[in-house]
């Protein structure tokens, strides 16, 4: 059977109906990964064997039985090398399992490989990885975006049917937009951070990256929930995303013009076309006013660097991993900025001020969501840049994530979905932001768009080259 392009949901059905064996699915993706990874460099480590014993003829009642997924290399996976794409952790074999991958394991998934990323998730290109750049499957001369660039490229080229990423300031949404797939940053605390190598602890959100909205909702369903090992994970009940997704709701959608400033004309046009489609679908669209994303960049820059300096302080080279001389330039830059803004005499001027503005940004979103169900806008200011072009942009990471960081600062959920291609034949992403813990409305809306447009076949066109 030809498995090419099948969603996770479709693969699940095929396995369940015994039309394909779990072992065949595993071999299929291993073969594809081995064939295409040398040019894409999506993986830091590719697994040789499935971890679940596959017994012929027996299908355990596990939701993800036989489904191989690619997981970003900042998730601790027991007995498997976990590097966060930094030489500091070059030979680190995790002695324990993250909560997210534990939950996936309990559901029967297979770990296919650990995906490349910007080292420590610092960046928006995978350029800072100590294991080389990941290439964008749409154009191998371009960045996949980042930091979850390996996960995005793996899904876009269909060397994995789905992947897990993490998003601190856009690290799921940004590469999803540049590679033309669906990526969700859930509400902060919706998914446990336990066992995810910490970057900015008040921002970090694990999330799914997929080819279909249903796959995305299904994976979040498994990943979400309160975890005793992450005190910041939320006790708010997890709704049944898929059943809520399929009732066609008429939603009130807000557009913040502040988020269209400085965005490439092709992206503006695609976005305006999308707004027309949304109106024709019967949703109401209104203008809303949000604080300029420029303030979010500043809050993010101060608070995230401060948290980085604290989180990366644990790498002493004594208990595990290499010593601090192994940190790359970007990590050093961030650690030093955070050390400075947290140091005596500067705390109030930087860190505390940033945390106060963070309150303003949160309140701004809370007030706006009293009036609308969702807020939409372009996901990135430009489509995938050519390798090397990042040097043209000082402050590259923050600039590329400028439309993503507000949701991260506020802690609200946000998704990137593909909407058309630009004149360079590169995918364009639209961001859908929702209220706290209202992933359901995002899924509902994205699913309706998928039914109506099939995302203009962007996802299909992306993988076609890798048939």
Query: Does the footprint of other proteins cover residue 349 (CB under 8 A)?
Result: yes
Binding mask 144-183 for other proteins (x = CB under 8 A): ----------------------------------------
Q: Nearer to other proteins by C-beta: 30 or 297?
A: 297
- Number of helices (H), then strands (E), belonging to the chain: the values are 15, 11
Q: Nearer to other proteins by C-beta: 180 or 206?
A: 206
Minimal distance, residue 192 CB to other proteins, in Å: 13
Q: Nearer to other proteins by C-beta: 231 or 286?
A: 231
For the question of residue 261 being annotated catalytic, the response is no
Task: State the virtual CA torsion across 184, 190, 191, 194 in degrees, nearest 10.
Answer: 140
Minimal distance, residue 378 CB to other proteins, in Å: 21
Task: State the virtual CA torsion across 432, 294, 185, 207 in degrees, nearest 10.
Answer: 150
What is d(CA 206, CA 213) in angstroms, rounded to the nearest whole number? 17
For the question of residue 147 being annotated catalytic, the response is yes
Query: Does the footprint of other proteins cover residue 259 (CB under 8 A)?
Result: no
Q: Nearer to other proteins by C-beta: 58 or 318?
A: 318
SS (H, E, C) 62-97: CCCCCCEEEEECCECCCCCECCCCCHHHCCCECCCC
The structure tokens 């996770």 sit at 8
The dihedrals phi and psi of 346, each to the nearest 5 degrees, come to: -115, -10
Whether omega for the bond prior to residue 147 falls within 30 degrees of 0, making it cis, is: yes
Q: Please, which of residues 403-422 interact with other proteins by CB under 8 A?
A: 409-411
Using DSSP's 3-state secondary structure scheme, residue 316 falls into coil
Nearest Cα neighbor of 133 from 44, 194, 229 is: 44
Catalytic residue among 33, 151, 166, 171: 171
Tokens of 215: 């796959």
What is d(CA 270, CA 423) in angstroms, rounded to the nearest whole number? 11
Binding mask 63-102 for other proteins (x = CB under 8 A): ----------------------------xxx-xx------
Q: Which helix (H) or strand (E) holds 341?
A: helix 329-342
State the number of CA atoms in the 13 A half-sphere of 173 facing the CB: 32
Q: Nearer to other proteins by C-beta: 186 or 429?
A: 186
Catalytic residue among 94, 147, 212, 234: 147
The structure tokens 């909407």 sit at 419
**Contacting range for other proteins; rule: CB under 8 A; set: 16-24, 102-110, 328-336, 370-378:** 328-336
**Contacting range for other proteins; rule: CB under 8 A; set: 210-218, 339-347, 423-431, 448-456:** 339-347
Minimal distance, residue 274 CB to other proteins, in Å: 28
State the number of CA atoms in the 13 A half-sphere of 416 facing the CB: 34
Query: Does the footprint of other proteins cover residue 121 (CB under 8 A)?
Result: no
**Binding other proteins by CB under 8 A: which of 350, 390, 396, 456?**
350
Q: Roughly what angle, to the nearest 10 degrees, separates helices 213-223 and 439-453?
A: 160
How would you label 67-102 residue by residue, b for 16+ Cβ within 10 Å and e otherwise? bbbbbbbbbbbbebebbbbbbbbeebebeebbbbbb
Q: Nearer to other proteins by C-beta: 243 or 323?
A: 323
Query: Does the footprint of other proteins cover residue 267 (CB under 8 A)?
Result: no
For the question of residue 416 being annotated catalytic, the response is no
What residues are labeled active site? Answer: 72, 147, 171
Contact positions toward other proteins, by CB under 8 A?
A: 91-93, 95-96, 187-189, 202, 228, 231-232, 234, 294-295, 297-299, 301-302, 309, 313, 317-322, 324-325, 327, 329, 332-333, 335-337, 339-340, 343, 349-350, 352-360, 362, 394-395, 409-411, 436
């Amino acid at each position: 059977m030809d498995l090419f392009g099948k969603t996770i949901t479709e693969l699940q059905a095929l396995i369940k109906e015994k039309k394909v064996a779990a072992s065949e699915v595993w071999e299929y993706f291993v073969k594809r990964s081995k064939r295409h990874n040398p040019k894409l460099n999506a993986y830091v480590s590719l697994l040789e064997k499935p971890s679940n014993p596959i017994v012929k003829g027996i299908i355990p009642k596990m939701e993800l039985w036989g489904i191989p997924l690619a997981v970003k290399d900042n998730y601790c996976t027991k007995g498997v090398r976990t590097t966060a794409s930094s030489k500091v952790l070059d030979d680190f074999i995790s002695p324990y399992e993250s909560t997210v991958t534990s939950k996936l394991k309990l559901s029967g998934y297979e770990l296919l490989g650990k995906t490349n990323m910007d080292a420590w998730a610092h960046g928006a290109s995978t350029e800072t990885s100590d294991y080389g750049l990941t290439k964008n499957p749409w154009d191998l001369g371009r960045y996949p975006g980042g930091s979850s660039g390996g996960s995005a490229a793996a899904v876009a080229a269909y060397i994995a049917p789905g992947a897990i990423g993490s998003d601190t300031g856009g690290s799921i949404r940004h590469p999803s937009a540049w590679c033309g797939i669906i990526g969700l940053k859930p509400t902060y605390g919706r998914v446990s951070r336990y066992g995810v190598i910490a970057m900015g602890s008040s921002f970090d959100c694990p999330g799914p990256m997929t080819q279909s909205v249903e796959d995305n909702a299904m994976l979040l369903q498994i990943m979400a929930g309160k975890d005793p090992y992450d005190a910041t994970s939320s006790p708010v009940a997890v709704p049944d995303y898929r059943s809520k997704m399929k009732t066609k709701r008429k939603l009130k959608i807000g557009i913040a013009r502040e988020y269209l400033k400085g965005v490439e004309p092709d992206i503006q046009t695609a976005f305006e076309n999308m707004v027309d489609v949304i109106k024709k679908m019967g949703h109401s669209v209104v203008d809303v006013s949000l604080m300029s994303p420029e303030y979010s960049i500043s809050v993010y820059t101060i608070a995230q660097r401060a948290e980085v300096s604290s989180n990366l302080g644990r790498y002493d080279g004594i208990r595990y991993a290499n010593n601090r001389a192994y940190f790359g330039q970007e990590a050093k830059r961030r650690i030093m900025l955070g050390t400075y803004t947290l140091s005596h005499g500067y705390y109030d001027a930087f860190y505390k001020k940033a945390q106060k503005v963070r309150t303003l940004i949160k309140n701004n979103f809370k007030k706006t969501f009293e009036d609308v169900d969702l807020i939409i806008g372009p996901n990135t200011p430009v489509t995938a840049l050519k390798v090397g072009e990042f040097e043209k942009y000082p402050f590259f990471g923050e600039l590329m994530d400028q439309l993503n960081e507000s949701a991260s600062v506020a802690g609200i959920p946000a998704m990137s979905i593909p909407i058309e291609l630009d004149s360079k034949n590169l995918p364009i992403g639209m961001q859908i932001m929702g209220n706290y813990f209202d992933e359901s409305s995002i899924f509902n809306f994205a699913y309706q768009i998928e039914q109506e447009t099939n995302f203009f076949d962007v996802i299909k066109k992306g993988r076609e080259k890798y048939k």
